[in-house]
């Protein structure tokens, strides 16, 4: 049964089972598959009540303006930096995301990048595969995890989940976030103070204009030549040119990156740096978590259809 006037525009698809669920309840229009998206929007734009999208695609002001009856944007992501929230607030459009269900996977991946950089796992793998082990002997000594000073910038659910992992590995944790939280971890006022204290700086804060290039040369130099940057937030948070210079000039020891300023085409200079562990913006990319995210998208749209409200509203 399709609900009249509540057509759904798929800007970026979610998991197949959840797409089937939406198809059973609504008339779907696939902007993601259209060879003439402008024509599709002209034809069905006034019928669209809901958008389905993902964090990497979002919904910009141009798209939103083409949909006069749009009432909800449901994204399969915790980040909403690719959605024009100002346009949504102006029009009273609900925006829902998928928090909580991805917290543990993203924290696992961020912590995995920490382990990989400190124990140089990718280089060690190459050491074995290349035959260097038999020619050059033992791999260089690396860095112990126990006792490591880890600064977590952004201390929401993901940052706190990373902190729990650090504690379990006997590391020392401090955090900095926009709002001080009642948590059993040392809080420092800003990114510069955190980087000055930390040996590893892990970015877990939201992307968007408010945090763009928050981590630049000054913060990276405060982290210093024995420091490591881990980013599971957004590429926009880091001045990537400053990061690359710091790594190339030895002013920063290492980096573990899940996100980039120019993804999916990271700066080619990053690809040449052996002290950088590269991951393709996939921290939530497991079957279980993406299924849970997709189900929450469906549940948000169904809740909006039936009650006029979403379940996990960012803007409402
Ligand atoms: C998304 C993410 O799945 O949740 C986020 O904000 O970055 C990922 O988990 C990704 O953006 C998919 O587009």
For the segment 4-9, the average pLDDT, to the nearest whole number, is 80
Rounded mean pLDDT, 206-212: 97
Whether residue 102 has its Cβ less than 6 Å from ligand 1: yes
Q: What is the pTM assigned to this prediction? A: 0.96
Residue whose Cα lies nearest atom 4 of ligand 1: it is 77
Number of CB atoms found within 10 A of residue 43's CB: 11
pLDDT computed for residue 3 by the predictor:
47
Ligand 1, atom 2: closest residue by C-alpha: 77
> What distance in Å separates the CA atoms of residue 255 and residue 227, rounded to the nearest whole number?
9
Can you tell me which residue has the tokens 């729990």?
164
**Whose C-alpha lies nearest to ligand 1, atom 5?**
77
Catalytic residue among 15, 71, 281, 290: 281
Which atom of ligand 1 is nearest to 54's Cα?
A: 13
What average pLDDT does the segment 129-152 reach? 98
Nearest Cα to Cα of residue 72 among 56, 55, 57, 53: 53
| Ligand 1 atom nearest to 56, measured from its CA | 13
Average pLDDT over residues 297-313: 97
Backbone phi and psi for residue 82, each to the nearest 5 degrees, phi listed first = -95, 5
Residue tagged active-site, from 15, 234, 279, 290: 234
At 179 the pLDDT is 82
The answer to whether residue 91 is catalytic is no
77 lines ligand 1 (CB under 6 A): yes
Given the CA of residue 106, which atom of ligand 1 is nearest to it? 9
Beta-strand relationship, 254-257 and 48-54: unpaired
256-275 average pLDDT score: 98
């Amino acid at each position: 049964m399709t609900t009249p006037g509540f057509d759904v525009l798929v800007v970026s698809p979610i998991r197949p089972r959840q797409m089937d669920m939406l198809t059973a309840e609504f008339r779907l229009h696939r902007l993601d598959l259209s060879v003439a998206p402008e024509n599709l929007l002209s034809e069905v734009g006034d019928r669209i009540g809901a958008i389905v999208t993902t964090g990497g695609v979002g919904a910009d002001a141009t798209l939103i303006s083409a949909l006069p009856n749009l009432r909800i944007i449901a994204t399969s992501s915790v980040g909403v930096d690719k959605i024009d929230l100002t346009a949504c607030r102006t029009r009273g459009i609900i925006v829902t995301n998928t928090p909580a269900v991805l917290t543990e996977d993203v924290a696992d991946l961020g912590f995995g990048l920490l382990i990989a950089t400190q124990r140089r796992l990718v280089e060690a793998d190459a050491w074995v595969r290349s035959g260097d082990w038999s020619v050059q002997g033992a791999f260089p000594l690396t860095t112990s995890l126990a006792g490591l000073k880890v600064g977590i910038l952004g201390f929401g659910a993901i940052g706190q989940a990373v902190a729990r992992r650090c504690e379990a590995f006997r590391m020392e944790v401090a955090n900095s976030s926009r709002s001080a939280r009642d948590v059993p971890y040392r809080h420092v006022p800003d990114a510069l103070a955190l980087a000055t204290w930390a040996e590893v700086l892990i970015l877990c804060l939201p992307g968007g204009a408010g945090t763009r290039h928050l981590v630049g040369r000054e913060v990276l130099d405060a982290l210093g030549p024995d420091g490591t940057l881990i980013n599971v937030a957004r590429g926009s948070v880091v001045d990537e040119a400053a990061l690359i210079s710091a790594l190339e000039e030895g002013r920063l020891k290492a980096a573990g990156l899940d996100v980039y300023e120019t993804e999916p085409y990271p700066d080619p200079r990053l690809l040449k740096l052996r002290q950088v562990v590269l991951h393709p913006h996939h921290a939530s990319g497991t079957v279980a978590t993406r299924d849970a995210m997709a189900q929450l998208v469906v549940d948000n749209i169904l809740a909006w259809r039936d009650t006029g409200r979403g379940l996990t509203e960012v803007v409402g």
